[in-house]
């Protein structure tokens, strides 16, 4: 078998190819760069597709536009951080995805790092567990009805023995409590204004 090739840049078909296919052959137009015109056509096709995608972009933006207002987001954050609602309840009431609430309240990453920032020693953490859950009596039943306010006040009193200026600010107290509950498998309970028992986490 004889292998026949066309040298890039050549303007003539090989004689054997002409003999087999005759006049039906059409010589491809070559550019100085050595690239066939087919590449140019493919680039034009890609350009058209890109233009179409750009034209559809406003429609994609419409689909992703939040259905809630900033005021509603603030109210939802306040309700969760003050133990008025659970994440799920706030998400349902205000129409805000639970993931969005988690990101805005707890941060998008390194949510457990707040434990190190609080700087509790092992002895202090054990004291907090005892204060919240009476672990010396029921070590495996880690549920608490203590309010977040009372827990944070207790933690601050412990820390101020070493650092008199220590205090939780903004959402840092809720973030620490969320991470502490996650680390120690605590189910946090509270009584709302109507006296019904709710799970805050």
Q: Which of 49, 81, 109 is the last residue of a domain?
A: 109
Same domain (yes/no): 124, 184:
yes
Contact status, residue 11 vs residue 28, Cβ threshold 8 Å? no
| Final residue belonging to a domain, choices 109, 139, 166 | 109
| pTM for the predicted model, two decimal places | 0.64
CB distance 104 to 132 below 8 Å: no
User: Within this chain, do residues 95 and 119 fall inside the same structural domain, yes or no?
Assistant: no
Look at residues 77, 109, 141 and tell me which one is the last residue of a structural domain: 109
Tokens of 144: 């608490």
Do 129 and 170 share a structural domain?
A: yes
Q: What is the pLDDT of residue 39?
A: 40
Tell whether 176 is covered by a domain: yes
Output the CA–CA distances (angstroms, integers) from residue 113 to 43, 44, 110, 176, in the order listed: 49, 51, 5, 9
Domain match, 92 and 139 both: no
Alpha carbon of residue 48 to chain centroid: 33
Residue 91's pLDDT is: 96
| CATH code where residue 75 lies | 1.10.10.60
**Are 129 and 159 contained in the same domain?**
yes
Kindly state whether residue 149 falls inside one of the protein's structural domains: yes
Structurally, how many domains does the chain consist of?
A: 2
Please indicate, yes or no, if residue 32 is contained in any of the structural domains.
Answer: no
Q: Are residues 197 and 174 in the same domain?
A: yes
Bridge-based pairing state of the strands 197-199 and 143-144: unpaired
Question: In terms of domains, do 92 and 115 share one?
Answer: no
Q: How many helices (H) and strands (E) does the chain have?
A: 9, 3
Spatial CA neighbour of 184 closest among 147, 151, 141, 154 = 141
> Sorting pLDDT into bands at 50, 70 and 90, what band is 66?
confident
Residues 105 and 123 in one domain: no
Note whether 117 and 197 are same-domain residues.
yes
pLDDT computed for residue 137 by the predictor: 84
Task: Say yes or no: 97 and 126 in one domain.
Answer: no
When comparing pLDDT for 118 and 57, which is higher?
Answer: 118
Shared domain for 75 and 130, answered yes or no, is no
Is there a domain that residue 102 lies in? yes
The residue among 201 and 165 whose pLDDT is bigger is: 165
pLDDT band at 19 (very low <50, low <70, confident <90, very high): low
Q: Sheet holding 197-199: strands in order across?
A: 143-144, 187-191, 197-199
The pLDDT of 19-47, averaged and rounded, is 46
Which range marks the domain in which residue 144 is found?
A: 111-201
The arithmetic mean of pLDDT across residues 178-197, rounded, is: 76
Residue 59: per-residue pLDDT: 57
Within a domain: 73 = yes
pLDDT at 85: 92
pLDDT at 16 over 90: no
């Amino acid at each position: 078998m004889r292998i026949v090739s066309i040298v890039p840049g050549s303007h003539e078909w090989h004689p054997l190819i002409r003999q087999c296919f005759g006049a039906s052959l059409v010589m491809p137009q070559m550019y100085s760069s050595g690239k066939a015109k087919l590449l140019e056509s493919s680039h034009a096709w890609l350009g058209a597709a890109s233009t179409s995608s750009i034209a559809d972009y406003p429609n994609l933006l419409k689909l992703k536009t939040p259905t809630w207002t900033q005021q509603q987001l603030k109210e939802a954050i306040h309700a969760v951080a003050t133990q008025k609602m659970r994440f799920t309840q706030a998400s349902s009431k205000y129409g805000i995805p639970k993931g969005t609430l988690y990101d805005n309240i707890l941060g998008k990453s390194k949510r457990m790092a707040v434990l190190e920032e609080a700087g509790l020693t092992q002895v202090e953490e054990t004291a907090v567990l005892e204060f919240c859950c009476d672990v010396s009596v029921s070590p495996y039943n880690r549920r608490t009805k203590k309010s977040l306010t009372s827990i944070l006040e207790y933690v601050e009193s412990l820390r101020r023995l070493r650092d008199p200026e220590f205090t939780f600010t903004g959402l840092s107290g809720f973030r620490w409590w969320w991470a502490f509950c996650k680390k120690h498998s605590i189910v946090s309970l509270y009584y709302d204004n109507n006296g019904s028992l709710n799970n805050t986490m």
